[in-house]
Amino acid sequence: MKDKEKTYALYLGSKGIEAERNDNAGHAELGVVEVRETGEIRNPETGNQFNDLVFRCQYERMGDPFAFALHYSMSCIELADAERMAKLLKKARRVERKFPVNPTTFGQWCSLMARGLGVTRLVKQVSGCGPSFADNEHRTFSIVEAQHVIDSVIAESRKSEVAA
Q: What is the pLDDT of residues 103-119, one digit of tens each?
A: 999 999 999 999 999 99
**Domain presence at residue 1:** no
**Spatial CA neighbour of 29 closest among 67, 82, 84:** 67
Which amino acid does the sequence have at 18?
E
One DSSP character per residue, 9-56 reads EEEE-TTSEEE-TTSSEEEEEEEEEEEETT--EEPPPTT-TTTTEEEE
**Domain presence at residue 139:** yes
**Domain presence at residue 80:** yes
Split into its structural domains, the chain has a count of 1
Q: What is the pLDDT of residue 2?
A: 45
Domain coverage including residue 69: 6-163
Percent of the chain with pLDDT over 90: 54
**Spatial CA neighbour of 44 closest among 81, 73, 6, 18:** 6
